[in-house]
Amino acid sequence: MIPRTLFNSDHEMFRDALRKFLEKEAVPFHQQWEDEGVVPKDLWLKAGEQGFLCPCVSPEYGGAGADYLYSVIVMEEISRLGLTGIGWGLHTDIVGPYIEHHGSEAQKHKFLPKMITGECIGAIAMSEPGAGSDLQGVKTTAVDKGDHYLLNGSKTFITNGQNADVVIVVAKTDPNAGAKGISLLLVERGMPGFERGRNLHKVGMKAQDTSELFFNDVKVPKENLLGKEGMGFIYLMTELPQERLGIAVNGIAMAEGAFKLTLDYVKERKAFGKSISDFQNTQFKLAEIHTKIEMGRAYVDRCLELHCNKKLDAATASAAKYIITDLQCEVLDECVQLFGGYGYMWEYPIARMWADARVQRIYGGTNEIMKLVVSRQLLS
Say how many residues make up the chain.
380
pLDDT at 66: 97
On the question of pLDDT at 53 being above 80, the answer is yes
Mean pLDDT (whole number) for 187-194: 98
Question: Model pTM?
Answer: 0.95
Work out whether the CA dihedral 127, 132, 136, 137 comes out positive or negative: negative
Our answer to whether residue 243 is catalytic in this structure is: yes
Q: What percent of the chain has pLDDT over 70?
A: 99
List Cα–Cα distances, 230 to 74, 100, 101, 147, in angstroms: 33, 18, 16, 17
Is 135's pLDDT higher than 90?
Answer: no
Contact 105, 99 (CB under 8 A): no
pLDDT digits (tens, 9 = 90+) for 266-299: 999 988 989 999 999 999 999 999 999 999 999 9
- Which of the four CATH numbers 1.10.540.10, 1.10.1040.50, 2.60.120.200, 1.10.150.20 does domain 9-120 have? 1.10.540.10
For CATH 1.10.540.10, the residue range(s) in the chain are 9-120
pLDDT of amino acid 271: 87
Q: Is 51 left (phi over 0), alpha (psi -120 to 50) or beta?
A: left
Q: Report whether CATH 2.60.40.10 matches the domain 233-379.
A: no
Q: Is 346 helix (H, G, I), strand (E, B) or coil?
A: coil
Burial class for 79, CB neighbours closer than 10 Å (0-12, 13-18, 19+): buried
In the chain, ranges of CATH 1.20.140.10 domains: 233-379
DSSP state letter for 203: S
pLDDT tens digits along 329-345 = 999 999 999 999 999 99
Mean pLDDT, the chain, whole residue set: 96
3-class secondary structure, 144? strand
Residues 112-124: b if buried by 16+ CB within 10 A, e if exposed? bbbbbbbebbbbb
Say yes or no to pLDDT of 209 above 90: yes
SS3 196: strand
Q: What is the model's pLDDT at position 1?
A: 73
Q: Residue 134: pLDDT above 80? A: no
Backbone φ, ψ for residue 217 (5° rounding): 55, 45
> What is the widest separation between alpha-carbon atoms in the chain?
78
Among 76, 243, 256, 334, the active-site one is: 243
* Domain ranges in the chain with CATH number 2.40.110.10: 123-229
What is the structure's pLDDT at 132? 63
Q: Right CATH number for 123-229 from 2.40.110.10, 3.30.450.20, 3.40.50.300, 3.90.550.10?
A: 2.40.110.10
Cα separation, 55 vs 57, whole angstroms: 6
Region of 362 please: left (phi>0), alpha (psi -120 to 50) or beta. alpha
pLDDT cut 90: percent of the chain above it: 94
What DSSP string describes 343-376?
A: GG-TTSHHHHHHHHHGGGGTTTS-HHHHHHHHHH
